Chains A and B, each alone.
Chain A
Amino acid sequence: MRMAAEAGDRLDWFGARSGSRAVKEGSASDARDDALLVESAKAGDRAAFGLLYERYARMVHGVLAARVPMGDADDLVQDVFVMALRRLSSLRDAARFGGWLAAIARNRANDYHRHSVNAVEWSEELPVSERESGSMSNPTGAGAAGEAAKVLSAIRSLPDAYKETLILRLVEGMTGPEIAARTGLTPGSVRVNLHRGMQQLRERLERTPAGSEGQQERSSS
């Protein structure tokens, strides 16, 4: 399974130890802020929960998008937050809100597949506004949309740990430290997932003939 055998191509996440510490300190500060918001939300402060939504919506969307079609991921984001709001009183350690919320999102995606009647293959299309705006790197919107769908499909074919982290990084635009802070994963894990996932994605994209978008497979989650 390991793709690259040469040391030069291998991950160098040990090399950034001092950076990792800085990330941990930032994460701790974030966690404290979030813990205060969680406690306020538990006490009935809707504005606090709204702030948590603003901070975590991209993470939840990314977790869902790794597992369900994009259109449904958009719809399920609010679903996940409503579930979280209902269960908030059961969260004992407010500082673990991110990991707890991510777990709810993953389980919601699992439920989506379990209860989905239409167990058919699904394809991805970019939002209409995006296609019409012509903001893709490729000025021919349809071609860019097809390539984007192909890349997304390739990401979803990766192991769970990699596809989720890569979608958070490449689709949602989060940095590695942000991903760690929001998902509750350690910076070390995120770093490994990013680099190994990216390595496998490159190999898969290289193997896929150019322009053969084909049908998108259902992601196994």
Chain B
Amino acid sequence: MSAGNKASAGGTGNDYLWDGSGQPDPEIQRLETLLRGYQHSGSTPEFPLVAQGRRWAFWPRMGLIPRLAAVAAAVVVVAAVGVIVRGRKVIPAVLTGWNVTQVAGTPRVGAKAMGANEGSGQLAEGQTLETDEGSQAHLTALETGEIEVDPGTRLRMERAGTGFRRLVLDRGTIHAWIWAAPGKFVVDTPWARAVDLGCAYTLHVDDSGAGLLRTSRGWVGFQSNGHESFIPAGAACATRPRIGPGTPYFENAPQALRAALARFDFADSTAEQRTDDLNIVLAESHKTDALTLWHLLARADESQRARVFDRLAALAPPPAGVTREGILHLDRAMLDRWWNELGFDDIAVWRHWEQEWAGK
């Protein structure tokens, strides 16, 4: 099996597991053959009619003159309406609340308890959803996504701009599956803001305000007071009171790296201790930990940054035009270009969000 392992781990345009190219991996071929019987094989079913299709159905049955008359009438109506509303301020559409479904126990929306008999309701702007230790709830917003709310959670819906949604997680745990466009949905925690960038994730906040975000699909941005953390699938990021988000890491990173990183981010350490912890992180890091090292470039102090650069450059060389000097001066354009080379996602999505949410 070790031979096959090496073949599949190659990944330099010769990667059977990725796209079937290169030397076939016998072990993967065996599994493909073995599991083929489970493959989907159904034919396309008949789907019901979609109502919107009837909207223009009357046109073909009308003659030319009636059509022209209808168009003329429509123009008159539109002009009249235009005159009436001219000068009035246009009120933009605002997204409605979340549909709430009781899953277990008696979740509360405001003062209203939701039992098994009245198991659904709405979470509107300014309202709070609370689950006690025996309660769970499910939130749905068709154009945004779905959220599972675990026991012991307090969640508020707050005002956001047109087309945007904002929840505040005071404490507890939520599991979010979001299909809104990236950047349209955020969850504020006491010490950081989680920004959906097209993803599924779990967010937990304890009673002290400390939190943990774990991404299972896509990626999430975590932001507070100028600190930015990007958390792709398989990675996690903690947040602490008065500090904000820490450095993200892959959850299967070595335990020694994770422990040293937690101390580096959050412990009340001396300069020497921080240097020791950074040394552990650098020594334990491998290619996939480029995620962590890229973030450390902006978090390490100037005396440490060069070593972080060297380690990251050894694992994932910077693209052309990204220089050591530029990175040591935290040139944002260069940092962004290097990030884009790491293969996670395009940081332009995040920069666009920053502009959209400025002042919100």
**B8 on the interface (CB 8 Å rule)?**
yes
Cβ–Cβ contact B9 & A11, under 8 A? yes
- Contact status of A170 and B40, CB under 8 A, knowing A19-B13, A85-B48, A191-B343: no
Query: Which residues on B sit within 8 Å (CB–CB) of A126?
Result: 37-38
Cβ–Cβ contact A196 & B252, under 8 A? yes
Query: Which residues on B sit within 8 Å (CB–CB) of A18?
Result: 13
Give the distance in Å from the alpha carbon of A155 to the alpha carbon of B345 in the complex.
26
**B232 on the interface (CB 8 Å rule)?**
yes
Cβ–Cβ contact A176 & B286, under 8 A? no
Cβ–Cβ contact B17 & A85, under 8 A? no
Query: Which residues on B sit within 8 Å (CB–CB) of A85?
Result: 47-48, 50
**B6 on the interface (CB 8 Å rule)?**
yes
Give the distance in Å from the alpha carbon of A14 to the alpha carbon of B314 in the complex.
12
Cβ–Cβ contact A46 & B52, under 8 A? no
Cβ–Cβ contact A44 & B345, under 8 A? no
Give the interface segment out of B79-87, B138-146, B261-269: B138-146
A81-115 vs B: 1/0 string, CB under 8 Å?
A: 11001011111110010011001001100100010
Query: Which residues on B sit within 8 Å (CB–CB) of A3?
Result: 252
Query: Which residues on B sit within 8 Å (CB–CB) of A61?
Result: 39-40
Give the interface segment out of A29-37, A145-153, A210-218: A145-153
Query: Which residues on A sit within 8 Å (CB–CB) of B287?
Result: 7, 10-14
Among B37, B142, B254, B345: residue with most chain A CB under 10 A = B37
Cβ–Cβ contact A42 & B234, under 8 A? no
B30-41 vs A: 1/0 string, CB under 8 Å?
A: 111111111110
A128-172 vs B: 1/0 string, CB under 8 Å?
A: 001100011110000011011001100000011100000001111
Cβ–Cβ contact B38 & A192, under 8 A? no
**A25 on the interface (CB 8 Å rule)?**
no
Query: Which residues on A sit within 8 Å (CB–CB) of B345?
Result: 186, 188-189
Query: Which residues on A sit within 8 Å (CB–CB) of B50?
Result: 41-46, 49, 85, 88
CB distance from B221 to the nearest CB of A (A): 14
CB distance from B85 to the nearest CB of A (A): 25
Cβ–Cβ contact B17 & A44, under 8 A? no
Give the distance in Å from the alpha carbon of A89 to the alpha carbon of B42 in the complex.
26
Cβ–Cβ contact B234 & A192, under 8 A? yes
Cβ–Cβ contact A45 & B53, under 8 A? yes
CB distance from A12 to the nearest CB of B (A): 4
Cβ–Cβ contact A160 & B216, under 8 A? yes
Cβ–Cβ contact B143 & A202, under 8 A? no
Query: Which residues on B sit within 8 Å (CB–CB) of A170?
Result: 28, 31-32, 35
- Contact status of A2 and B44, CB under 8 A, knowing A103-B177, A103-B179, A136-B33: no
Give the distance in Å from the alpha carbon of A50 to the alpha carbon of B42 in the complex.
13
- Contact status of A185 and B1, CB under 8 A, knowing A85-B47, A148-B34: no
Query: Which residues on B sit within 8 Å (CB–CB) of A43?
Result: 50, 52-53
Could you list 8 A-B pairs, sorted by A, with CB under 8 Å? A9-B6, A70-B38, A91-B179, A103-B178, A136-B33, A148-B37, A161-B217, A198-B8
**A-B pairs, 3 with minimum CB distance:** A44-B53, A130-B37, A188-B343
20 new A-B contacts, CB < 8 A, other than A53-B44, A74-B42, are A14-B290, A14-B343, A15-B10, A16-B18, A42-B50, A44-B52, A44-B53, A62-B40, A91-B143, A124-B38, A127-B38, A135-B36, A136-B34, A137-B34, A151-B35, A170-B31, A173-B36, A175-B18, A189-B217, A194-B18
Chain A residues with a Cβ under 8 A of chain B:
1-3, 5, 7-20, 41-46, 49-50, 53-54, 57-58, 61-62, 65, 70, 74, 77-78, 81-82, 85, 87-93, 96, 99-100, 103, 106-107, 110, 114, 124, 126-127, 130-131, 135-138, 144-145, 147-148, 151-152, 159-161, 169-173, 175-177, 183-189, 191-196, 198-199, 202, 206
